[in-house]
Structure 1
Amino acid sequence: MSFTTNIKSIDSFPSISSLHTQTNKKSKFHKIIQFFLSFNIDQKEADENPHQHAKLVLRAFFIYMIFVSNIFIVAILSQSQHYFLITNTFEYHLINAQFSVKSTWLERDLRSNPYKNARNKYRKAFEINFHQIATFEDIWQFMNETIGNVFYRSHIWKSNPSVTSQRSIRWILDHFLMIGVIRMRQVRVKAEKCNIPKSYSDEITDCYPSYSSEKKDTDPFGPITLSDSTNINLKQAWRYMTLDETQMDSYTGQYGKYDGSGYVADLAQYDRTNKHFTNDLSELEKFHWLDKATRALFIDIIIYNPSVNLFSYIKLVFEMPLTGGIFPSYKIENRQLLRYVSSMKYILITCEVIIVTFTIIFLIMEIVKIIQLKLKIFLNFWNWIDLILLIISILLIIVNIKRLFIINSTLNGQMSIYISTFDTLTIKLLRLQRIFDTLSVLLTSISIIRILKYCDFSVTLIRIKATIQRCFGDLIGFLVMFVAIMIAYAQFGNLTLGQQAPAFSTIGKAFVALFRTVLGDFDYEDISNASPYIGPLFFFLYIFSMIFMLFNMVLAIIVDSYEELGNEHRDIINEMLIDVTPFIKHSIQIFFERLRIWKKVKVIIQFIIRADDLSNTRTVRDLLQELKYSATSSSSIYEELRRTFAHDMTKLISKSDFDTFLKYAHNDKDRQRHTLQSLFLGNKLFINFNEEQEWNEHARHFCTIQQWAQLRYRIARLEELFDLIEGKIDYVIQISDNLLRTKIISRERLETNENV
């Protein structure tokens, strides 16, 4: 009964197997944590083995280089060498193309001129390009002639004769396809009461402010408010559309920031023909779709090149500030949206999977480091770099996954070269691809910087890192002073040159122009023409100040810190230095020893080194032969050398060491010959000779040759000091004697005078 009771009491406690299971789980979890912590090389324990730490650094370095190499491959495969060529093509056909100015008096003069050559010359004198557009009439003429010629008067090719004209493919410049239609979008402002003198208020009633979200116009305008709106085809162009309806990006221009909303006109919608395109433009121009309430006009075009699998997004912008004038600008983006269709797709997918795997591992490592270090993690510079790198990697993965979902779920069914409306889905995909490319560039740049974290096995890099760390505070102080001086010069340049020089029109532009001047990018003629007297004086004064600050103060700060580090803080370098050479040699030796070919590999390496530079290397056997047949060599040195290297006669010796050793043997032979000659000629007794040899033998155990030379130098200095003191004592005695003699003579003269 008691036995069964004991069994029941034992069963009431946790079983031994469950305890073992919990212990194994804890041990496995502990091993996992220790494994991830083993890649942390930020802290070096005091009792850690240098050999083990070198092994840790090299392992982390090679693993990280695998991550960096995959990032490079993804970044390179995401770019294309055709970007510049496509941009250059559209700059030539759209931006730099000339078109004639539309003017009634110009046409009248051309018709009245009877000479054909004179008319052609007269017409060319009034041709402008995109950058020279200055009026609304120029914009409409640019749309009709330049854009119409490029996109709507191109070759039409039917892939199948049975399809209708709407299903035909329109080739642009023989190699491009237009996706969707061309979109024109403008942003407008509401009219407000003018703040002008009362004498003008009767004549001027309305003014139009600069663009802002509070003052933008959202009311319908134009012919849709009239009774005869039945003949208007573009009713959408006269109504305001929100950002959700347009699905366009905001744009920051030279004279303002504009959101994606506005009044949208999709040209040649549902009928992509030249006739429909010109009719839509004529209707917009006829009813003054652009007027003085317009603050910016955007023209968006999407193009695809199937030969290189690249999408091009052309954005033409015309800004119209409240001060008047039209200021055109443009942006051409080339993106590779369909990335997994080329022959390199498997390599790209493999590299992206490796990056995801490494990102997960780095995330676990950072979580473990945060748990271990807590807030101390933010005190280290490299921890900040690791966190930024991890955040960018996670964002890159999220953007890529979202882009893949859009391609697979939406664009595969709706993306078509026959689409007859503006393609907003491709705009969304271009936006994601732009973010992906930006994050890829940032990730590549920061990952390269992070390589310096593992370069503590180079003394040069350690000195550079320690120098920057030492002078970082001084450089921050100099940066504050430099920015303050730059702001002062920018303010001065804006006030004196801002009305004439475009680079100094605002304080921000003046600051950028001055910073570019430091790099050598400046337009002296523009500054001189803005103010013939103040401009050159301002320019040369600024250049002199920058040269003094940058090339004197900054270099002085860095050079002084570098010299102080080299002379006074060698312990910092020794503390940071990681010697990986012994570990590498030991690892190579162990590897070949396990294969049982180490001795053969060693002989081969020595043979390769000797064969690589026979003129600068010798062996111990060569040295022994030289000593054996040399009449000026010492036999004792030869025997000692032969006994020492009897087992390794193939050991390599550099040419400089070879010559130095022969010189030493020659000098030793001369010394012995000189001693023997002095002994047998009677200049030195044999007993004294033995005592001298014995004394020299004992003296070698007390100090080295360097210590003996240092002692002799100190004794010579001490003798010079004694001579100096003796001279000073003699000088003092001589002066004292002269003073005493003078005093005695003066006293005798005084007594003589008294007696007289």
Structure 2
Amino acid sequence: MKCLNNRADSHLTGQVECELDSRTNGAWVNQGFCSSPPPLPRVVSTIYNPQPLFQGSMDSMYKLDTLGPFPEEPPSADQSLVKKQRSCCWFVKGLWGTTLTENTSNNRELFVRTTLRELLVYLVFLVDICLLTYGMTSSSTYYYTKAMTDLFVNTASQSGVKFQSISTMADFWTYAQGPLLDGLYWTKWYNNQSMDNGDRSFIYYENMLLGVPRMRQIKILNNSCKVHNDFEDEITGCFDVYNDKKEDDLSFGLINGSAWTYHTEKEIKGSSHWGLLTTYSGSGYYQDLSRTKEESAIKLKELVDNLWLDRGTRVAFIDFSTYNANINMFCVIRLVVEFPATGGAISSYQIRTVRLIRYITTWDYFILGCEMVFCLFILYYIVEEILELRIHKFSYFKSIWNILDIIVIMLAIVAIVFNIFRTVKVDKLLGKLLEHPQIYADFEFLAFWQTQYNNMNAVNLFFAWIKVFKYISFNKTMTQLSSTLGRCAKDILGFAIMFFIVFFAYAQLGYLLFGTEVESFSTFVKCIFTQFRIILGDFDYDAIDRANRVLGPIYFVTYVFFVFFVLLNMFLAIINDTYSEVKEELSSQKDELQFTDIIKQSYMKTFTKLKLKKEKISDVQKALRSGSGEIEFRDFRETLKEMGHADHEISAAFSRFDRDGNQILDEDEQERMKIELEEKRDALSAELNKLGMNYEKELLEKPPVTSNEQKNQSSHTFVDRDQFLSLTKQVVQLESSVDGITSRIDLIMEKLGLQQKAKGNQTAGKLTVTNHDSDETASDGSILVLVDRGLTSRRSTARSNSTLDSPM
């Protein structure tokens, strides 16, 4: 819809009402949101194939437009070029138009419409990313991990040693020669019948052991620390805590294999590991076991007899991988036993169940299709953010939502690149493993990055859901959370400084008081998380009391009082007070244009458009009935021009049915026109009835209005349907009258030109002058009448509309 400017008429001032016409992108604007209008208005298209009012929501309007028998005249070359440029611009705006690329600051309706369009597109993207994220996981992942944990971590040896109960080097070898070997090699059924799998092992009869397991250790150099002078005679060796610069790289023991020779991280293609005590490198001494239980037992006995583990050992790793074809899952297992400088052993394990082979089943190929759609969405949003960045420059980064958009896009790009890398790497690794099944299958690197990939997708999905708040902020109810947090941010920041001063003071106090005896206070980081757990009610008071019978209760009581009862409640009070202020302000504000208002107004606008179109068809039918026998174009045009139609529309309609081009409609041509007009009229009537029924249904389903809502709505006055139709019709008639006046002025100018050319012939000139005088008098009289009628109609329309819009 476009806004009409005033004619060059000194009697009329102010802006004229917005006409009922549609823009190419399908939007419409009411008077309250009219922007700068074009300098000259064009004639309102009536019955000759007008554009639908609601391009995106009323599919039936497209069908009705295709029924229209009256095409417009073909545009000129210049008009085609301008139209092409506009269509390109509107295509970009329609596809990537956002609240940041369009001027919506003074147009609430356009803001709501653009936001809703963005929300619909984003919801499709959100569904797609949810399918991708959840399509890569399965409930079988947990049960696979649990089965491997029960077998290799919780199974005890004959002496009762479990992996988690390892406390000495002797316990380590007891576990390795007992539960480890029994769990790795399954060659018989429960009735001692052979499984006939050759030298391959299927753990739990379902999970194939890939390659062979590997044991690896990292040692520290002797005399890597300094012994005190008083103990130099008694203590001959000193092995420091682990440090990668103090690693032992000398051969030892039998010096005849990889178990006794040092290998760098690059040589064995290892990877670092973050243990409980520190981070270990991927180098060291390693021993690959065999594909059978007997051969592996022999190798383990050789390591035990030759003291493979000694005082310099700081960590030992056991790595192996399995594959379950039933669920297409890999399980990469790493068992770690750390030997600290204090003596003893600390065990930990890492079991990663991942899906490295992606596309097998029909569901996997469906996920592949979702991945392609995801890539298209990312490309779409990259272009969108570039357009917004070009428009707003550095101010683009002032919005937290824009920064969140960039984060989501960057994480998505990293995910796409890793997905391609993982597919290529797995194919290469599996190909090598199938050629040499007796080698160690190193899936640790891929499993690690697959886990990080899954974590990144989880974070990205979280941010994607949070971003939904960006698109629902057009409703004042939805802005309460952001308004509350934004307003109390400074107060919370100032309070947080006081809170964490007290909090960290208690954390240091707890670490120094209980760190030597209570595990949850053994490090400063653990103290911080333990104090958060105390706030939530999860604590072990007995352990604190045993560690320090005097200061323990004092610490606990004062911490709970100051942090929980005082500081935490002050924090909640700040938020509650700000929320009350925000809610009160929002309730006092008048309601802005909402989505329901747009739907209701769209029904009214569409209904009005269809009704006007139906009336114009009736005008054409009257023109056909007014003629007798054959109808000439001149009579047809004069009849419709009196009813307010434009010249080019009338010519286009007549030429369509004038098959022989003789400027006359015979009976057959009139009959065809009548049939198509009747079909068009019936279709419009059906659509009007349908819209009317839907509108009445909405009114019936609308809940009763409360007294508070009536008070809020008292400041807004809406026009009923009949009055709106009447005013709209007056606007259309006004423009039609003005167009008629313009046509008559053009005709007079043509006649004046003929008059000057005929001055040479006196007799003919007199006759011409006489005829021109009579015509000019008649024309001038008719023009004065029409101008007076048009101005009167324009004034009455302006007064009516100003009266109508004044309450709004």
TM-score, length-scaled by structure 2 = 0.63
Other-structure match for 1:413: 431
- Quote the RMSD (CA, aligned, Å): 3.5
Other-structure match for 1:275: 294
User: Offset at 1:287?
Assistant: 1.1
- 414-423 or 87-96, which deviates more: 414-423
User: Offset at 1:389?
Assistant: 0.8
Any idea what SS the aligned residue of 1:362 has? helix
Q: Pick the structure with more helix per residue.
A: 1
Residue 132 of structure 1 aligns with an amino acid whose one-letter code is: S
Any idea what SS the aligned residue of 2:539 has? coil
- Do structure 1's residue 176 and structure 2's residue 226 form an aligned pair? no
User: Offset at 1:574?
Assistant: 6.7
- One of 583, 593, 599 as aligned partner of 1:584: 599
- Do structure 1's residue 465 and structure 2's residue 456 form an aligned pair? no
- Do structure 1's residue 147 and structure 2's residue 180 form an aligned pair? yes
Aligned partners of 1:457 and 1:580 also within 8 Å: no
Other-structure match for 1:130: 163
Cα distance in 1 for residues equivalent to 2:201 and 2:311? 36
Aligned partners of 2:161 and 2:174 also within 8 Å: no
User: Offset at 1:503?
Assistant: 0.9
Any idea what SS the aligned residue of 2:202 has? strand
State how 1:495-510 maps to structure 2 within 5 Å: 495-510=512-527
Cα distance in 2 for residues equivalent to 1:154 and 1:498? 49
- One of 680, 689, 694 as aligned partner of 1:599: 689
Other-structure match for 1:4: none
Aligned partners of 1:186 and 1:298 also within 8 Å: yes
Any idea what SS the aligned residue of 1:461 has? coil
Other-structure match for 1:537: 554
User: Offset at 1:20?
Assistant: 13
How many residue pairs match? The answer is: 555
Cα distance in 1 for residues equivalent to 2:298 and 2:82? 82
Other-structure match for 1:557: 574
Aligned partners of 1:83 and 1:334 also within 8 Å: yes
| Percent identity of paired positions between Structure 1 and Structure 2 | 29
User: Offset at 1:185?
Assistant: 1.5
Aligned partners of 2:270 and 2:283 also within 8 Å: yes
- Do structure 1's residue 348 and structure 2's residue 367 form an aligned pair? yes
Q: Larger relative CO (CA 8 A, sep 6+): 1 or 2?
A: 2
- 213-222 or 32-41, which deviates more: 32-41
Aligned partners of 1:41 and 1:57 also within 8 Å: no
Aligned partners of 1:169 and 1:418 also within 8 Å: no
Cα deviation, 1:133-188, whole Å, max 9, x if unaligned, reads 1111110110111011111244389xxx9xx9895432111221111111112122
- Do structure 1's residue 244 and structure 2's residue 266 form an aligned pair? yes
User: Using a 3 Å threshold, how does the CA distance of structure 1 residues 588 and 436 change in structure 2: closer, same or farther?
Assistant: farther
Residue 488 of structure 2 aligns with an amino acid whose one-letter code is: C
Aligned partners of 1:179 and 1:416 also within 8 Å: no
Aligned partners of 1:222 and 1:238 also within 8 Å: yes
User: Using a 3 Å threshold, how does the CA distance of structure 1 residues 255 and 447 change in structure 2: closer, same or farther?
Assistant: same
User: Using a 3 Å threshold, how does the CA distance of structure 1 residues 386 and 574 change in structure 2: closer, same or farther?
Assistant: farther
User: Using a 3 Å threshold, how does the CA distance of structure 1 residues 252 and 55 change in structure 2: closer, same or farther?
Assistant: same
- Do structure 1's residue 210 and structure 2's residue 241 form an aligned pair? yes
User: Using a 3 Å threshold, how does the CA distance of structure 1 residues 385 and 645 change in structure 2: closer, same or farther?
Assistant: closer
Aligned partners of 1:98 and 1:128 also within 8 Å: yes
Unaligned runs of 5+ in 2: 1-77, 611-682, 706-719, 724-808
Aligned partners of 2:101 and 2:387 also within 8 Å: no
- One of 42, 50, 54 as aligned partner of 2:112: 54
Residue 558 of structure 2 aligns with an amino acid whose one-letter code is: L
Cα distance in 2 for residues equivalent to 1:547 and 1:356? 48
Cα distance in 2 for residues equivalent to 1:24 and 1:602? 35
State how 1:95-134 maps to structure 2 within 5 Å: 95-101=153-159, 127-134=160-167
User: Using a 3 Å threshold, how does the CA distance of structure 1 residues 347 and 191 change in structure 2: closer, same or farther?
Assistant: same
State how 1:634-713 maps to structure 2 within 5 Å: none
User: Using a 3 Å threshold, how does the CA distance of structure 1 residues 312 and 532 change in structure 2: closer, same or farther?
Assistant: same
Residue 583 of structure 1 aligns with an amino acid whose one-letter code is: I
Cα distance in 2 for residues equivalent to 1:522 and 1:60? 47
User: Using a 3 Å threshold, how does the CA distance of structure 1 residues 525 and 174 change in structure 2: closer, same or farther?
Assistant: farther
Cα distance in 1 for residues equivalent to 2:136 and 2:302? 43
Unaligned runs of 5+ in 1: 1-18, 102-126, 230-234, 618-643, 648-756
Aligned partners of 1:155 and 1:170 also within 8 Å: no
Any idea what SS the aligned residue of 1:131 has? coil
Any idea what SS the aligned residue of 2:488 has? helix
Aligned partners of 1:178 and 1:417 also within 8 Å: no
User: Using a 3 Å threshold, how does the CA distance of structure 1 residues 53 and 288 change in structure 2: closer, same or farther?
Assistant: same
State how 1:345-424 maps to structure 2 within 5 Å: 345-408=364-427, 410-411=428-429, 413-416=431-434, 419-424=437-442
Other-structure match for 1:634: none
Aligned partners of 2:157 and 2:175 also within 8 Å: yes
Any idea what SS the aligned residue of 1:221 has? coil
TM-score, length-scaled by structure 1 = 0.67
Other-structure match for 1:72: 130
User: Using a 3 Å threshold, how does the CA distance of structure 1 residues 300 and 79 change in structure 2: closer, same or farther?
Assistant: same
Aligned partners of 1:339 and 1:345 also within 8 Å: yes
Aligned partners of 1:177 and 1:417 also within 8 Å: no
Residue 97 of structure 2 aligns with an amino acid whose one-letter code is: S
Cα distance in 1 for residues equivalent to 2:386 and 2:358? 33
Cα distance in 2 for residues equivalent to 1:208 and 1:25? 80
Any idea what SS the aligned residue of 2:467 has? helix
Aligned partners of 2:603 and 2:695 also within 8 Å: no
